[in-house]
Amino acid sequence: MRISTQMFYQRSTDNVMSQQAKLSQQNQYLSAAKRVLTGADDPVAISTIQRLKQDISLGEQYIKNGEMAQTANALEETALAQTTNILQQVRELTVSAGNGTYNDQNREAIAKELESLREELIGIANTKDGNSQYIFAGYQVDTQPFQENEFATIDYHGDSGERDYKVGSGVFVQGNNSGSSVFTDIKEGNGTFVAEANLNNSGSGVINTASVIDNKAASGFLDQDYTISISESVPAGDSEYSVYGLKEVAVTGSANVTISKIDLTDPSIGNVNPAGIYPAAGSDVSVEFLATATPGEFEVQINGESSLPAIYDSNNTQAQEITINGISVEVDGLPNAGDQYGLTKYVEPTLYTEGQSIEFNGIKTELKGNVAEFDSFTLSPSGTKDIFSTIQDTIDALRIPGDDGAAKAQREMRLDMGRQQVDNAISNVTGIRTSVGARLLTVDNQKESNLDFNLATQKTLSNLEDLDMAAAISEFSMQSSILEITQKTFVQMQNMSLFKLL
């Protein structure tokens, strides 16, 4: 077989180029400090390496999410701590306002201080984060959540949204609480009933918030509004109390209806007053709203007896009292034609003794103080109330003028109610702060878990793809030597020609 000079040169050139390519590839591994750069290097390892890199990237994202959740919760914790401090100050002022030696000027000074605290609390409720987003607005982060309306009350313009952060596999941490859960959805009274005295009472009687003493007996009766009405016996003139309940029977409107006064001396009271005592027959009568020819105006009927010519005008935003044959109902809001309520008598006129407990339907309350004829007290199912309204009600109570028995009784009851509401608000905020603390602990624990996971994954990844530098450097040196020898050989081969002997 002949080997031509051209073939000889081609083979030598290919050999040099091959050695250069091997050296260049070895240099790439050294520069990257990696054993595996492409699937051809290790087809089995490359898929595992890609999966591990994804796991590490996901863990790093979890850590970043945790940092955002931590920032959000830390900011909320600061705002809640400030809220608690303000509510504590409000409570202290409300307690001191009950001092019987204070006059109108003393109470006005406290009222002004409460106004300042209320404004400060509104400012905290509208706290923004570093991105100028409201932290208590739910998902409506660009809308100021608490705004004063034309009636000088505070409306909530946020929603109930709560943003979650994924800080681990299947682990989510809440990043905020809505303003409604912190500042507005606060249980009234003792969580079951709210006790109030009629603003028109002339006596100095006050009522304690009712409690349930027999759950079985009270079942089915906790959704009613109760009125404790004071009358005078004939002929002795002793004070007596009666208990009536008002419940919805067929209601589609949004009116608030309460029994404000019952005059048992009215000659026609028998036409509207229930004849029996629950559960006897005739223990209840109906209260119904009928539409008139004028939109928004309603005729009220009690047991079929009409209020005409007196009507309820829903276009008037003030509460209105309608009296029919001795029974007075106070209405505000918008009823619908045909709305019907049931008025039930639970306790017939009973001699009043100060401090005596009043029990009915498994419910217990107590009246104290000097009561007067036509005074009335109400027990209503607990709803929710915002803390700003509570503080404003306390301010209004402090500004009730006079030091007679009736004025003192009104202030005492409303201040007691304010204290209870503030206590409810403090308990609510304390509970939320506890949950925020738990969330911050979860973020810390999960961050440590993510860091540990990433460290272990990095170690596994390193074992799969990292280069043994000592062996690689040795291999590179050997490959460099082979290339050098190949190049010298090629040069020597170039000189082997017969033409040089001519």
10-residue mean pLDDT profile of the chain (502 residues): values are 55 56 56 55 65 83 92 94 96 88 90 96 94 93 93 91 90 92 92 90 90 92 93 84 96 94 94 94 95 95 96 93 96 95 96 90 93 93 93 93 87 90 95 94 91 81 59 57 58 56 52
What is the rounded distance in angstroms from the CA atom of residue 450 to the CA atom of residue 55? 10
pLDDT given at position 407: 87
pLDDT given at position 456: 84
- The structure tokens listed for 423 are 């206590």
pLDDT given at position 32: 53
User: Where does 37-188+385-466 sit in CATH, by number?
Assistant: 1.20.1330.10
pTM over 0.75: yes
Whether the CB-CB separation of 368 and 205 falls below 8 Å is answered with yes
pLDDT given at position 233: 82
pLDDT given at position 12: 54
Closest listed residue to residue 326, CA positions, set 404, 409, 408, 270: 270
Q: Nearest 5°: phi and psi at 284? A: -140, 160
Terminal Cα-to-Cα distance of the chain (whole angstroms): 25
pLDDT given at position 255: 94
pLDDT given at position 427: 95
Number of residues that make up the chain: 502
What is the rounded distance in angstroms from the CA atom of residue 26 to the CA atom of residue 9? 26
Closest listed residue to residue 221, CA positions, set 114, 326, 364, 417: 364
Helix (H) or strand (E) holding 227: strand 225-232
The ranges assigned to domains in the chain are 1-33+467-502, 37-188+385-466, 193-382
pLDDT given at position 237: 81
What is the rounded distance in angstroms from the CA atom of residue 421 to the CA atom of residue 442? 32
